[in-house]
Each structure stands twice: as structure tokens, then as C-alpha cells.
Amino acid sequence: MKNTQEYITKNKEKFVQELIELLKIPSISADANYANDVKLTADSVASSLKEAGADNVEICETAGHPIVYAEKIIDANLPTVLVYGHYDVQPADPIDLWTSPPFEPVIKKTEIHPEGAIFARGACDDKGQMFMHVKAFEAMMNANELPCNVKFMIEGEEEVGSTNLAIFVKNNHDKLKADVILVSDTGMLANDTPSITTGLRGLSYVEVEVTGPNRDLHSGLYGGCVANPINILANMIASLHDENNKITIPGFYDKVIDLSDEERAEMAKAPFSKEAYCKALDIDEVMGEAGYSTPERGAIRPTLDVNGIWGGYTGEGAKTVIASQAFAKISMRLVPDQSSEEITNLFVKHFESIAPKGTKVKVTPHHGGEPSVTPIDSVGYKAAAIAYENTFGKKPIPVRSGGSIPIVAMFEKELGLKSILMGFGLDSDAIHSPDEHYGLFNFYKGIETIPHFFVEYTKLLKSK
């Protein structure tokens, strides 16, 4: 590993410059106008894998955006690590709120990142983190120290639900044969508090539409006489939580696996400051389900949130009108053993049942995904823990995350493989938001830590 680490130290500047070039391409998967940029990004990822020394580099076309596949098989008797990441990014809007343009990366110092952070859409989620794997591989290849086989599968549709990747995985069991999956698309607690993500939440996502009268009406002539879809939708949404912030959909909690007191006590050991949390968000109090701490509410408990709501007149001045329709987008984060299909069905049934007379309700489900957990006694977790200890000088804390990467549960179902979630981002890195950034410290630490995982995993698996 000595030569690998030397190569990394020597090439730090080059790595950042290359990442900056990658971040300049606006690979927004959700917007068809950027389809060509998405394709250019796939080409760029494929080239860097080839240059790093990968074999059989392929751009696999799908019904949507392409998947980049590559491999280096050095000995069929050695373990194989399958690296997963995504090169697509979220849309950059609202653009006005960025302090520098989202696709013109710049390095700026912040309080949390005194050595600098790269500001750009995708810097942390997930181009920056995915690219750490390409560079760690390049380093191991150049140092002649790759200890096992590696396969790469980098997709371009994670931010839109990974539908085509799921099909690709189903159709390519042999090609994707591996011993473990390695993913850097999550976060850690703080730069001096390394952690490994041991769980992800699932997701149900629905769009609702409430229709009242057949046309927009004068709010003086008709106000008070007919159901106002916006008033009704607001009421319906408000009724989805009770006074303890529990979700009121019948059956919603039925399948939730409660954590034992021991597990909750273990979780409570991870450092968390409510004051710092509130200060960072400029709020004077937190809010959530009664009986649970903020870290618990954000990781081991299911939630329901409105992500967008619209209808009626929102232009300048005052227009007196009762809209015919009102709309909202609602997400539910799920925990083991909730199923996204079951929860979506429960939502539809309940939401339709609470619509008052005089209104019609339509619910349209969007893509969902299942929750997943990684046990800390697995070989993969142990190898990752040693890797972090080597580079941070501290044992990492296992932490369940509130975010979702639906393909992780799919990997387990289809390939029978657990994923090790070695994420190096911070919650404050503003992923999906204006001014997304990724610390240089985090980028380098990731590149340094990944080769240790390869070495430790190979060692542990051999000695089994």
C-alpha cells in the first residue's frame, strides 16, 4: 500500500483538476434537454477508467441514460469488489441562490472545510465520491498493488429512480458476479468523527390532485358555497399527522421493526448537538415524532413530507379566485420492513377515503424503493472499519442514514450481495441544494481509504 499512498500524495492536484473537468458537464438526468451532456459524462467516466487501467470498458446503452461498466480481473481465485456509483446529478435550480454558477466549479474555504471545498452541482452527490473510486483504482494500478478483482458499474439515472439499472442488474447476474458491493454515495458524521452508513430508508412517492368545481370561480360569488380544492388539500395534508406527529394512515406502522433499547442506546452514543443543528438551519426548535430523538427521527423512523404544493393564483397582486384544482407531491421515507408498494397502496386508499363530498381525488404513484440495512458483523463492514481506522486513526461509528438509494435493496434481492456504504460527504455539503460542495479533505481521505478497504477485505476473506 505504500506505493499506492505515495502515488495519491503526488497526484492530489491532478485528481482535483480532473474532477473539476467532470463537474463542468451538466449531467442532469431528469431533464431531457441535457441528454447529450449525460452521454458526454458517461464517455468521460469510461475514458478515465480506461486510462486508469481497467479492461473491457463498456458504455452499456439502456432505454434511458447509459451505464458505464469496466473491470480488472487479476485472478479468478481472488475476491471481487463491485463498485457502484452514479454520474448523473440533480437539476441545479433555483439557480439564483447559487453564489457561483453550478457547472463552473470553484474551490472556496468554509468554516467546516478550512482546507477548501469544491462548489458545483454533483461535487458530493455523486461525481466527487464516485470519482474517488476511479482515482483509488488508478493509484493501485500504478503502484502495482491492486490486491483483488474489481468491477465498476457507474449509472446515469440514480437521481430519477434507477429504473433501467434495475433491468440491467436483472439481466446481467453473471457479469456482475462479485463478493461485495462498495458504494460511496452517503455521508459521515464529521471530518473528525468517521462513520459508516449501515442503513438506508426506502421511499414511496405520490402526486395528489384534488378537483372541486369544473372551472376556476369568482371567490366573491362562489366563496363559502363550494369546496375550495386548496383549502381541502391543506386540510387533508394536515390530517396526515396527529398531535404527536405520528402518521395517521391506517396500517402505516404495522410492518415497522422497532429497534431494541440496546440498539437505541448504541445509536445515542453518536455525537449530536441539538444547538449546533438548530444553529446551522437557523431554527429555534426541532420538530418530529414524539418519543424519538432527532437522529432517530431522521434515520430509524418512517416519515411523510410534502415536497411541493401548488394551485390557484400565485402571480403578482391579488386575484380573487377559487381554483378548480390543487396539487401536491408527497414523499414517505420507509424503514425495514415496510414495503414501498404496500405503503403506497395504504396511502391511496386512505387519501381517497378522507376526500370530502364535493371533491374528487386522484393519486398518482411515482418510483419508489425499499429500505436496506448492512450488519456490522459482516466481512465487508469489518474491512471498511479497519480501513477507516488506518486513515482517520479512529474507529468509525455505524450510523443509519435517512436518505435512500433504492438500488441497494435491489442488489441484495437480485445478486444476493450486501453493499458497504463508505460515504465521505457531510450533511452540511448541501446535496440537491444550491451551493452543493465537497471538501478537499473528504475527497482525498476517500481516495486514501478505499485502497485500504480492498487490502483488508482481501485479507479477511482469504483467512475465512
CA distance 163 to 122: 20
From the list 323, 378, 370, the residue with the least C-alpha distance to 343 is 370
Residues 200-229 touching ligand BES, rule: CB under 6 A, are 200, 203
What minimum distance in Å lies between the beta carbon of 434 and ligand BES? 15
Cross-strand bridge partners of residue 197? 399, 421
Residues 135-174 touching ligand BES, rule: CB under 6 A, are 158-159, 161
Q: Which of ligand BES, Mn ion, none interacts with 404 (beta carbon under 5 to 8 A by kind)? A: ligand BES
**Beta-carbon count within 10 A of 100 CB:** 13
- Say which DSSP state 247 is in: B
CA distance 66 to 61: 5
Binding segment toward ligand BES, per CB under 6 A, in 48-56, 140-148, 221-229, 396-404: 396-404
Q: Which residue is nearest to ligand BES (CB)?
A: 403
Do residues 109 and 120 touch, judged by C-beta distance below 8 A? Answer: no
Among 199, 406, 439, 451, interactor with ligand BES by CB under 6 A: 406
Q: Does 296 bind Mn ion (CB under 5 A)?
A: no
Q: Does 456 bind Mn ion (CB under 5 A)?
A: no
Binding residue count for ligand BES, defined by CB under 6 A: 16
User: What residue ranges in 201-342 does DSSP mark as E strands?
Assistant: 202-211, 217-218, 303-311, 321-322, 325-334
Joined together, the cell numbers standing for residue 161 give 429512480
Residues 110-149 touching Mn ion, rule: CB under 5 A, are 125-126
Q: Which of Mn ion, ligand BES, none interacts with 176 (beta carbon under 5 to 8 A by kind)? A: none
Q: Which of Mn ion, ligand BES, none interacts with 401 (beta carbon under 5 to 8 A by kind)? A: ligand BES
Give the chain's count of helices (H) and strands (E): 12, 18
Among 18, 37, 71, 125, interactor with ligand BES by CB under 6 A: 125
Among 18, 138, 185, 436, interactor with Mn ion by CB under 5 A: 185
Q: State the amino acid at position 453 in one-letter form.
A: F
Q: Does 429 bind Mn ion (CB under 5 A)?
A: no
Q: Does 340 bind ligand BES (CB under 6 A)?
A: no
CA distance 54 to 52: 6
What minimum distance in Å lies between the beta carbon of 313 and ligand BES? 30
Collapse the DSSP code of 362 into the 3-class scheme (helix H, G, I; strand E, B; otherwise coil) and give the result. strand
Collapse the DSSP code of 200 into the 3-class scheme (helix H, G, I; strand E, B; otherwise coil) and give the result. strand
From the list 69, 254, 63, the residue with the least C-alpha distance to 157 is 63
Among 26, 212, 229, 403, interactor with ligand BES by CB under 6 A: 403
CA distance 457 to 381: 9
Binding segment toward ligand BES, per CB under 6 A, in 281-289, 339-347, 372-380, 398-406: 398-406
Per CB under 6 A, residues contacting ligand BES are 125-126, 158-159, 161, 185-187, 200, 203, 369, 401, 403-406
